[in-house]
Amino acid sequence: MIIITPKSPEYNTSIQEWNRAINKFPYLIAYCENTSDVSEIIHYARKHHLPIRIRSGGHNYEGYSTGNDCVVIDISKMNNTKIDYVNNTVKLDGGTKNTELYNYISNEGYPFSGGTCPTVGVSGYALGGGWGYSARKFGLGCDSLVEVELVNYKGCVLTANKDKNSDLFWALQGAGGGNFGVITSMTFSLPPKVDKVTYVRMYYPGINKNIQVKVLDTWQKWISSVDNDINLSGGLYNTKKKVFTLILEVLVIKTLRILKSFLSLFII
Ligand SMILES: Cc1cc2nc3c(=O)[nH]c(=O)nc-3n(C[C@H](O)[C@H](O)[C@H](O)COP(=O)(O)OP(=O)(O)OC[C@H]3O[C@@H](n4cnc5c(N)ncnc54)[C@H](O)[C@@H]3O)c2cc1C
């Protein structure tokens, strides 16, 4: 375990969250390398009456994974992933990031109902529900969770699944992170392999507000009538840099026919 304190040269970089507006000053940051480290640091924090924060990818918008005068349990160094081909599941350490999981399972042809940002932590993502481009097809991230290993507030290691600690397991599927203990590993069921995925990014700069509204309206009417192989997200901008810009990102899992029907809607 690596401990960073305000006296360490790495302190200023270690306290940095994804949201640069968060300025919090923990008492220490503990980079754990295994479950025993997590238990040990929980015992330490309890003994010294220090509040605990848990950090995986550090992408919480409000900075819930850090705080002032607290112990940050950072598990980003715990990032092993392993496919179980017999049970069709993938087990990953609690600090695994989206990109680490995608790189590993996509090499084997598996998709995953993960989020869009590569550096988000999978545990933070799935504990909050987890929406991604393939969510219409495969469900939310938490829907494919089959088991978690967690270190609780006493430093004890628990397993939760539908049969064991099932109430805890239920609560971990979308209730948000950091409330019930430190997740040290998660096991997800894997969807069937896919061999074709198409990603399209559409960028419409300089359009007016009426066209933005028309596109959103057309999209909302259309999406409920097509099958779940397609999903999309959109961003509307009206800033100095991007004056009335619309950005649409589309993922199609197999049938390109749907993509054609989608594109034909937007030939304005
Ligand atoms: C750029 C960006 C893009 C995003 N894109 C998506 C998206 O496409 N889909 C989507 O659903 N969400 C998305 N999000 C939201 C993101 O999924 C959540 O903010 C998520 O909680 C971040 O997880 P993290 O581990 O990176 O963050 P952290 O800040 O480390 O953790 C977030 C919360 O979960 C807790 N937590 C983290 N790890 C554990 C653990 N192992 N055990 C217990 N508690 C833990 C923390 O204490 C904190 O409360 C995005 C966020 C950003 C900043």
Write a three-state SS string for 52-110.
Answer: EEEECCCCCCCCCCCCCCCEEEECCCCCCEEEECCCCEEEEECCCEHHHHHHHHHCCCC
Q: pLDDT higher for 258 or 67?
A: 67
Distance 60 CA to ligand 1 centre (A): 5
The residue whose C-alpha atom lies closest to atom 23 belonging to ligand 1 is 124
The pLDDT of residue 268 is above 80: no
The reply to whether ligand 1 has any atom less than 6 angstroms from the CB of 183 is: yes
- What are the φ/ψ torsions at residue 210 (nearest 5 degrees)? -65, -40
Question: What confidence score (pLDDT) does residue 267 get?
Answer: 60
- pLDDT for 237-261, tens place per residue? 888 777 778 888 888 887 667 777 7
The pLDDT of residue 97 is above 80: yes
Residue 234's beta-bridge partner residues?
Answer: 248
Question: Please, which residues have CB within 8 angstroms of residue 103's CB and are 6 or more apart in sequence?
Answer: none
Token match 């008492």: residue?
Answer: 27
- pLDDT for 127-173, tens place per residue? 999 999 999 999 999 999 999 999 999 999 999 999 999 999 999 99
What's the one-letter identity of residue 97? K
217 — pLDDT class (breaks 50, 70, 90): confident
Strand residue runs (E) in 98-181: 145-151, 157-161
Question: What confidence score (pLDDT) does residue 264 get?
Answer: 74
- Atom from ligand 1 closest to the CA of residue 63: 29
Report how far apart, in Å, the C-alpha atoms of 44 and of each of 13, 36, 48, 68, 183 are.
Answer: 23, 12, 6, 17, 18
Residue % of the chain over a pLDDT of 70? 97
The reply to whether ligand 1 has any atom less than 6 angstroms from the CB of 190 is: no
Edge-first strand listing for the sheet containing 157-161: 81-84, 89-93, 182-189, 145-151, 157-161
Question: How many CB atoms within 10 Å of residue 260?
Answer: 10
Pocket test for ligand 1, best of 73, 117, 131, 169 (most atoms within 8 A of CB): 117
The residue whose C-alpha atom lies closest to atom 35 belonging to ligand 1 is 177
Distance 42 CA to ligand 1 centre (A): 21
* Residue closest to 95 by CA, chosen among 129, 120, 61: 120
Distance 64 CA to ligand 1 centre (A): 9
Question: What confidence score (pLDDT) does residue 164 get?
Answer: 97
